[in-house]
Amino acid sequence: MSKSPAHKATALIVDDEPDILELVSITCARLGVVAGTAGSLAEARGLLARRSFDLCLTDMRLPDGDGIELVREIGAHHPETPVAMITAYGNMESAVTAMKAGAFDFVAKPLDLHVLRDLIHAALKLGAPLAPAVTDADGSDSGLLGTSAQMREIRTLIAKLARNQAPVFISGASGTGKELAARLVHSLGPRADAPFVPVNCGAIPGELVESELFGHRKGSFTGAVSDKQGLFQAAQGGTLFLDEIADLPLPMQVKLLRAIQQKSVRPVGAEREVPVDVRIISASHHDLKQAVDRGAFRQDLFYRINVIELFIPPLRERPEDIDVLADSILRRIAAQIGGEPQRLSADARATLHCHDFPGNVRELENILERATALSDAAVLEVADLRLPDRQASAAETQPGSSDAAESVAPTSPQQQTADAPDADIDIGDRPLEAKLDEIEKKAILKALDTTHWNRTAAAKLLGMTPRSLRYRLSKLGLD
């Protein structure tokens, strides 16, 4: 809740140790927060019955009960009051249990004043007006689009997760929009004004992971010519998104676990740890439970990052979202290259609904980017989508399909080569999309060089329209 200038924020501190009560009360006073103290569950319940508080900080073990009980009671009767848990040093099981019960964060004994102040600031922000949760039926305000029941439920859950600081693990197949969901959790929460720092753990060489995450000091290893800030420090006050966390080497998993638990990092070559205040959101398309069973992922780290799991279903399980996504993608493409958005014919939409989308939303984007690049027509037809014949045929044979849609586009020599079972194709160790982009980039650069960078002539040489060439140049970063 927002406070008037004359109203001071209030905190309820619950602990049976007088020293802790005094330390937290003094810290609150220095931050302009009025503290009420209680030494037991009974005293805390009495204070809550008489007045409201802007935040609560409670010990795990109390003389007459468990702090988890208080977390649940406040969540049920005072949902607007964020609760943080004071845990014993190293007792991460208690911290995880508390956050699963509804605590928004935790602080370990002995209390670190930097961590305590950051926690109080974060709690008070939870009471301030935040960005509104998504209300549009299709999720257009959030970017996480879809009208299906699954996507509506996901957006509702994200709005709840945004008001919590517990680590979130986002699972789902590649291309479903896990990073988009992570960004939405960040943007709707109290950390929205601070950085959102995404990192693909699988893209960092193993020997550089520690330096990238934690930073390093000058001279700490060959090539360290200056001090470097790590990604944890770059995300200070905000959110660190660890994508493909399953790809982290086991030795690095140990150090990551310590950094999360202690809320501090030690740059490579440094003598002291540096406090950090970041929210951890992680993701992977791998099954982490299976990775734990195989010994490829640490169970204690899995337990720590998977406090709350958010599953993003594949696109094939929510076909009703395809039209909303397709229309949005076409509008975005038109905004990038200028002009009116192209539309999909009824048969083209039916064809997309028959496709199983192994690449999920990312594959839909690629299909439409290719179609718009190769066609200048206002309406995209089935042939423009260039999907496998069996899926195009499935849509075309549906009742109500037009006769025009039944005609099959002639197969190009390139397609014949690709379809040939004995074609000599060098797959290599890179994704197919990356190889195709590289081939396309070389062909475009060669055409531009041949025509002395006359784009109209280069487009004619490549057999495409100038509009299509402009789009490809923009997509490949050549403009």
Give residue-wise pLDDT tens across range 294-321: 999 999 999 899 988 999 999 999 999 9
Under the banding of pLDDT at 50, 70 and 90, the label for residue 127 is low
Under the banding of pLDDT at 50, 70 and 90, the label for residue 173 is very high
Under the banding of pLDDT at 50, 70 and 90, the label for residue 401 is very low
- Res. 49: pLDDT tops 70: yes
- Res. 426: pLDDT tops 60: no
> What is the signed CA dihedral for 285, 186, 80, 129, rounded to 10 degrees?
-150
Residue 310: in which H helix or E strand, if any?
A: strand 308-311
- Round the average pLDDT of the chain to a whole number and report it: 84
Cα separation, 44 vs 115, whole angstroms: 24
Under the banding of pLDDT at 50, 70 and 90, the label for residue 397 is very low
Mean pLDDT of 48-68: 92
Name residues whose C-beta falls within 8 Å of residue 218's C-beta, 6 or more positions apart in sequence.
224, 225, 226, 227, 269
- Res. 384: pLDDT tops 50: yes
Least confident range from 136-140, 222-226, 230-234, 358-362: namely 136-140
Mean pLDDT of 443-472: 82
Looking at the chain, the whole-number percentage of residues with pLDDT higher than 90 is: 50
Question: What is residue 200's predicted lDDT score, i.e. its pLDDT?
Answer: 94
Question: What is residue 102's predicted lDDT score, i.e. its pLDDT?
Answer: 85
Question: What is residue 321's predicted lDDT score, i.e. its pLDDT?
Answer: 95
Question: What is residue 424's predicted lDDT score, i.e. its pLDDT?
Answer: 46
Cα separation, 468 vs 479, whole angstroms: 13
Cα separation, 242 vs 246, whole angstroms: 10
Greater model confidence, 198 or 136: 198
- Res. 169: pLDDT tops 50: yes
- Res. 273: pLDDT tops 50: yes
Strand segments (E) across 285-365: 308-311, 343-344
Contact of 348 with 385, CB cutoff 8 Å: yes
Strands 228-229 and 215-216, sheet pairing = antiparallel
Domains of the chain, start order = 10-126 (3.40.50.2300), 149-215+227-313 (3.40.50.300), 315-407 (1.10.8.60), 432-479 (1.10.10.60)
Greater model confidence, 157 or 417: 157
- Res. 478: pLDDT tops 80: no
Question: What is residue 404's predicted lDDT score, i.e. its pLDDT?
Answer: 36
Question: What is residue 126's predicted lDDT score, i.e. its pLDDT?
Answer: 75
Greater model confidence, 227 or 399: 227
The answer to whether the predicted template modeling score (pTM) of the entire model surpasses 0.75 is no
Q: What is the CA angle 268-274-278, rounded to 5?
A: 105
- Res. 393: pLDDT tops 80: no
Least confident range from 325-329, 336-340, 379-383, 467-471: namely 467-471
Question: What is residue 464's predicted lDDT score, i.e. its pLDDT?
Answer: 79
Under the banding of pLDDT at 50, 70 and 90, the label for residue 399 is very low
Distance of CA 146 to the CA centre of its chain: 17
Q: What is the CA angle 111-116-120, rounded to 5?
A: 150
Contact of 259 with 200, CB cutoff 8 Å: no
Strand segments (E) across 132-224: 168-171, 196-200, 215-216
Residue 124 is classified by DSSP as H
Closest CA to 117 of 195, 208, 23, 49: 23
Count CA atoms within 13 Å of residue 220 on its CB side: 17
